[in-house]
Amino acid sequence: MKFKPLGERALVKMVEREETTASGIVLPDTAKEKPQTAEVVAVGDAEEVKVGEGDVIVFAKYSGTEIKLNGEDYMILDADDILGIVED
């Protein structure tokens, strides 16, 4: 199934990072905070969306709508909730 966001929205896939404490303890999923970085999968047609497919972005903590497509988890974010692009 394909999904095309409308207007000032972007479809993103969460970027999972394994978290380890300073002492080397790996944190389980239940102890982790929700990640705030994601990879852009698709963007709407509005010019207000300043990101492109493949960009890794940081977004506001309590934003977006979670959806499941083809068994994978994604989020739909408004352009205003995208805070910036992670650059190498």
Q: Is residue 4 part of a domain?
A: no
Q: Is residue 1 part of a domain?
A: no
The whole-angstrom separation of Cα 11 and Cα 42 is: 5
Q: Is residue 3 part of a domain?
A: no
Q: Is residue 64 part of a domain?
A: yes
Q: Is residue 2 part of a domain?
A: no
Percent of the chain with pLDDT over 90: 61
Q: Count of domains in the chain?
A: 1
Percent of the chain with pLDDT over 70: 81
Q: In CATH, what number is assigned to the domain containing residue 45?
A: 2.30.33.40
Q: Is residue 48 part of a domain?
A: yes
| Mean pLDDT calculated for residue range 37-56 | 93
- Looking at residue 56, what is its pLDDT? 94
Residue 17's nearest CA partner among 41, 39, 44, 35 is: 35
| Mean pLDDT calculated for residue range 33-43 | 85
What residue numbers bound the domain in which 69 lies?
Answer: 9-85
The whole-angstrom separation of Cα 31 and Cα 17 is: 13
Three-point CA angle 29, 9, 1, nearest 5°: 70
The answer to whether residue 84 scores a pLDDT higher than 80 is: yes
pLDDT, tens digit (0-9, with 9 covering 90-100), for 52-63: 999 999 999 889
